[in-house]
Structure 1
Amino acid sequence: MLCALRLPRSKPRGSWASLLRAGQARERKGLASHAMMPVPLSYTVYDGPSPQPPLVFLHGLFGSKSNFASLAKKLVLLTGRKVLTVDARNHGDSPHSPLMTYEAMSGDVHLLLRQLRLSRCVLIGHSMGGKTAMVLTLKWPELVERLVCVDISPSETTAVTSFHNFIAAMKVVDIPRGIPRSTARRLAEDQLRPTIQEPTIRQFLLTNLVYAEDRFVWRVNLDAISQHLNELLGFPDFQAPYLGPALFLGGSKSGYISSDDYPEIERLFPEAEIQYVPDAGHWVHADQPHQFTAAICSFLERPPP
């Protein structure tokens, strides 16, 4: 049954259209405020006997905390320190959120550190995780004993990425219901192959294919990532530098840390060292795991400036 809406007899302040716009603006502001709230991140702890600040690993775009599982175990043995591996929002087992910015993601990690009562840590971030680590370090430098950024700099990386193509290819993958996992992975890989020729990249992206609600889906939030991808390829503006130890560890075969990036690295991280791992591409830790862990251990042993 339709019912009439009785309008107030008193004259409103402004037109109904303006009141509606004001109400919508308040609603959008409320949604934005809610979206800015930090989300509780999924993480794994690898315990070590040392009382020194733990190592906290932050993965790159389309990655997860499992990317660093074997390295975390090795670094516990080599350093004695506790190691944490963390899933970013919209990745792995962490919650999905429509907001995907470095301010939001650094806030998530800040919340996690407070929940775990960690007063100091060593942040180690790869690619997107490296930029998240940089933002957290620049915003809350008192929490960071040392910073390691793996194959990333505080500069725009649009020219050296193919993430737009990855997202487009993943979005059109269509897997029928009722098939085994092995068949689903093969079908997904076949559909990714025309756009993504490199087998290692296809296999990396396929780690995000999971079974949920009677079908295979991508566990990464492709909509949020695609909406904010240009922001993720950039870097927020900061003026005050971080004066603690920092290591920018690039792959010799990668273009993510170039000489063009050195001035901005030196401006924001004046105590930074820049090193390159031989025969390593963008996934330095996967291409050369022994050299990667050796570089981390050597950096941890150096006295602060």
Structure 2
Amino acid sequence: MQLNYKTFGQGPPLLILHGLFGTLDNWQTLAKRWAGHYTVFIIDQRNHGRSPHMDAHSYPLMAEDLKAFMEANWMYEANLLGHSMGGKTAMQFATHFPDMVNKLIVVDIAPKKYPGGHETIVEALNDLNLATIEDRKQADSILAERIADFGVRQFLLKNLTRNKEGGYRWKMNLPILTRDYEAILENITADENFDGPTLFIRGAASNYIDDTDLPLLQKNFPAAELKSVADAGHWVHAQKPEELFQLVSTFLEEQ
């Protein structure tokens, strides 16, 4: 399986992994900024964007996908950044293949099981009848009946694409993501610790990482530090891109 990706710049490799229902395009603006000092790879994870649709979705599988991607691109060590689901993939990878990670950055996710929270979104997406949709505006209007947040709807509708023969389809593998949603909520399984430099970044207005999680973060990532971005929720990169850019840049430049 070959993951879809884009690459920018030159220098040490920096790999970026998006979250659930996201695509590599969510990180393109920041990737181009980091490209001044790094060879940046933004990657569609399995069952997302233009990467292959597979019949299973789990963190061990996504970590193996990433290992194969690195080896196919002649990379045997890289800086790794992941947001949300992508952050768990990054943590899974770092604790299974620690020698392949230089520095690890995890955005607004902890290595623990979460109780859910996307059920309304998953149901709304599955109930959207793509056979009758005439345009994105109509799709947005239908989703608005169950998903009030305009920004969330626009984020989700980036997954909607036209068929050549007419009509619409999802870029993401919605049936498998729906079926394996519980696996996406699960904790990572750590083979060993990742002792390298690790930065956890949380949105101060998000509830994905709280102060009591710090011992958990440092259990498998003993060098981990936790920093907060004020006035940011879960989508730190979209809400406070400048603050995130500076935090990540400083961390990567540290010796």
TM-score, scaled to structure 2: 0.96
In percent, how many aligned pairs have the same letter?
35
Residue-by-residue CA offset, 1:230-270 (whole Å, 9 max, x unaligned):
11111133252110000000001101111232221110100
Equivalent of residue 151 in structure 2, options 200, 203, 211: 200
Matched, 1:113 2:70: yes
Match of 1:21 in 2: none
Report SS of the residue matched to 1:275.
strand
Equivalent of residue 227 in structure 1, options 176, 179, 197: 179
Match of 1:258 in 2: 210
CA distance in 2, matches of 1:270, 1:177: 52
CA distance in 2, matches of 1:164, 1:56: 29
Match of 2:102 in 1: 145
Code of the aligned partner of 2:126: K
Equivalent of residue 160 in structure 2, options 200, 209, 214: 209
CA distance in 2, matches of 1:54, 1:75: 10
Q: Is this contact kept in 1: 2:95–2:191, CA < 8 A?
A: no
Match of 1:63 in 2: 22
CA distance in 1, matches of 2:147, 2:244: 26
- Once the two structures are superposed, the pairs formed by residues 10-159 of structure 1 within 5 Å of their partners are 39-48=1-10, 50=11, 53-77=12-36, 80-158=37-115
CA distance in 1, matches of 2:29, 2:241: 9
Report SS of the residue matched to 2:148.
coil
Match of 2:140 in 1: 189
Matched, 1:297 2:249: yes
Report SS of the residue matched to 2:238.
helix
Residue-by-residue CA offset, 1:162-209 (whole Å, 9 max, x unaligned):
312111100111245684xxxx11111111112211110001000001
CA distance in 1, matches of 2:122, 2:183: 15
CA distance in 2, matches of 1:232, 1:41: 19
Structure number, greater radius of gyration: 1
Gaps of 5+ in 1: 1-38
Match of 1:284 in 2: 236
RMSD (CA atoms): 1.3
Code of the aligned partner of 2:3: L
Matched, 1:174 2:129: yes
Match of 2:227 in 1: 275
CA distance in 2, matches of 1:281, 1:177: 34
Match of 2:117 in 1: 162
Q: Is this contact kept in 2: 1:154–1:261, CA < 8 A?
A: no
CA distance in 2, matches of 1:203, 1:140: 35
CA distance in 2, matches of 1:258, 1:108: 30
CA distance in 2, matches of 1:163, 1:178: 23
Count of residues in Structure 1 that have an aligned counterpart in Structure 2:
254
CA distance in 2, matches of 1:211, 1:260: 45
Gaps of 5+ in 2: none
